[in-house]
Amino acid sequence: MRRIAVAALFCCALALAACSGKGAQELFETAQFEEKQHNFDHARKLYEEIIAKHPQSELAAKARERLNALPPK
């Protein structure tokens, strides 16, 4: 019984860890939406978050391109 409880607790912890935080794709899509809404400050923050959290990803490269294309503050 104790093994089942420990296994269930481990599975719950694993599921919660997988759900926490936004993935690079979701951040990028939100940043693009913010750009379209002319909310450039929020888009900039989201692109910077992608670069910080996922520096080696393809989306980080795209985020850098979008950052350079945003109007200056």
State the pLDDT confidence band at 25, using cuts at 50, 70 and 90.
Answer: very high
Q: Write down the pLDDT at residue 61.
A: 97
Q: Show me where the domains of the chain are located.
A: 21-73
Q: Write down the pLDDT at residue 8.
A: 55
The answer to whether the CB of 54 falls within 8 A of the CB of 24 is yes
pTM over 0.75: no
